[in-house]
Amino acid sequence: MNAAGLACRALTFERSTGGRLLDGIEAAFPCGRACLITGATGAGKSTLLHLLAGLLGPTSGEVWADGQPVSRWSAPHRERWRQMVGIVFQHLHLLNDVTLLENVLLPCVPRPERWPAVLGEARQLLERLGLGALEEVTPARLSGGERQRAALARALIGQPRFLLLDEPSAFQDDGRIEGVLGLLEEATGQGGCVVVCSHDPRLAAADLFQSRYRLAHGRLERCP
């Protein structure tokens, strides 16, 4: 299992309240590709992304990254691996007491040697996402769409190898979708592994996604 990218092997997750949410999922999300996962609310899309990101542990089965069983690794080892993961949470989880620019730079905090290089990159991402004039503003003073684009900039900073995006267009106007898709296309073009969970028809219509899956009844079915 040496394929570059993420993979699920017999991945199962049971709710703490009982019942199997994800039931033996088999899937591969290769590098250099964007994959779209759709599914009804409550199907388990966010849970699957958190498992892929190593933020949750599976009940059984594994998550593999670049041929390594990362879900089996000890927490400190997995934390180091997670520096290669950029994520947009469905509920964003921006820090409200610091500026947008500081939010975008957060993933680089453990690596201060990178700050000079990533500062320019953070400003460029904010500019491209229409947030250039807002870098010193705190998230609480922004619209939902602006906050979500800031979360996208935070996920993209440092060009992470694995990009996991949960409903990344939910708060975006039609005019912003193209810009978001363009950034994801660049990420796949640079060899990134992009997995997007969404039930936004505007994303489902995008050419960007070479693989499409539907999550239902705990299973991930490949769409034609």
Ligand X SMILES: Nc1ncnc2c1ncn2[C@@H]1O[C@H](COP(=O)(O)OP(=O)(O)O)[C@@H](O)[C@H]1O
Site for ligand X, rule CB under 6 A: 15-17, 21, 39, 41-47
Q: Are strands 60-65 and 5-14 parallel, antiparallel or unpaired?
A: antiparallel
Among ligand X, Mg ion, none, residue 2 binds (CB under 5-8 Å by kind): none
Minimum distance from residue 45 beta carbon to ligand X (Å): 3
Which residues, 6 or more positions from 133, have their beta carbon under 8 angstroms from its beta carbon? none
Both tokens of 219, joined, read: 């299973």
Q: Which is nearer to ligand X, 15 or 141 (CB)?
A: 15
> What is the smallest separation between the CB atom of 46 and Mg ion, expressed in angstroms?
3
Out of 46, 59, 138, 159, the residue judged to bind Mg ion by CB under 5 A: 46
Nearest to 158 by CA among 83, 47, 73, 76: 83
Taking CA atoms, 172 is separated from 15, 54, 143, 155, in Å, by 31, 27, 10, 17
Shortest distance in whole angstroms from residue 28 CB to ligand X: 20
- Toward ligand X, which CB reaches closer, 85 or 134? 85
**13 vs 121 by CB, closer to ligand X:** 13
Q: Alpha carbon 155 to chain centroid distance?
A: 7
One symbol per residue from 81 to 100: x for binding Mg ion (CB under 5 A), - otherwise; what is it?
A: ---------x----------
